[in-house]
Amino acid sequence: MVTKDTMSNRDFRNWLLDQPEGETLLGCYQCGRCTSACPVADIEHSFNPRLFLQKILLGDEEIAEEQLVWNCLTCEQCEVHCPEKVKIPHILILAKVRGLMAGNVPAAALDRARTIVSEGRSLPVSPPMLKTREKMGLPDLGTPPMDQIVAMLADIGIVSKLEKVESIYRGDQDE
């Protein structure tokens, strides 16, 4: 049966530390250089990589459910500026993977995944977007090769994972 995981805080932290490069988290001494180097934190002041790492060190599994964590661009500026070379983007990806495994994914992330599967793009194409592209002299977007996109996503397991997470949110029981 698939249900939302109830892993303890200690189990979550230990799971993350056991993942490749997850152990780099232990080098974090909360200096805050990651946050000061982060372009997302410059725009969204509640986006705080230092605080995310602190929560992960404490085993706060709910970090994966926070929409803010999913806003990480994985630009690696935080890692470049980290004096301990903590693999911050990788650790945030691991936290998101753990959330996905447990069925704890923010609705916005699910919506983005659904859009990719249904439209072949991460953002739906809107008439205003098309008008702006035309004014800028950008080429027509054309139609994405949906059969190829869906086949590729199915091959790497994204479609089945999305269906699994959606069934958890609906409260379905899978055996």
pLDDT tens for the 175 residues of the chain, in order = 233 444 556 788 888 899 888 899 999 999 999 999 999 999 999 999 999 999 999 888 788 777 788 888 888 999 999 999 999 999 998 888 777 777 677 777 778 878 888 888 877 888 998 999 999 999 888 888 888 888 888 877 777 777 777 777 677 655 4
Nearest to 148 by CA among 121, 122, 124, 120: 120
Q: pLDDT at position 37, please? A: 96
pTM, 2 dp: 0.66
All domains in the chain, ordered by first residue: 10-102 (1.10.1060.10), 107-168 (no CATH)
Task: Give me the pLDDT at residue 128, please.
Answer: 92
Q: Identify the pLDDT of residue 9.
A: 65
Q: What is the structure's pLDDT at 20?
A: 85
DSSP collapsed to 3 states, the chain = CCCCCCCCHHHHHHHHHHCCCHHHHHHCCCCCHHHHHCHHHHHCCCCCHHHHHHHHHCCCHHHHHCHHHHHCCCCCHHHHHCCCCCCHHHHHHHHHHHHHHHCCCCHHHHHHHHHHHHHCCCCCCCHHHHHHHHHCCCCCCCCCCHHHHHHHHHHCCHHHHHHHHHHHHHCCCCC
Nearest Cα to 34, choosing from 50, 58, 23? 50
Residue 143 — φ and ψ, nearest 5°?
Answer: -105, 125
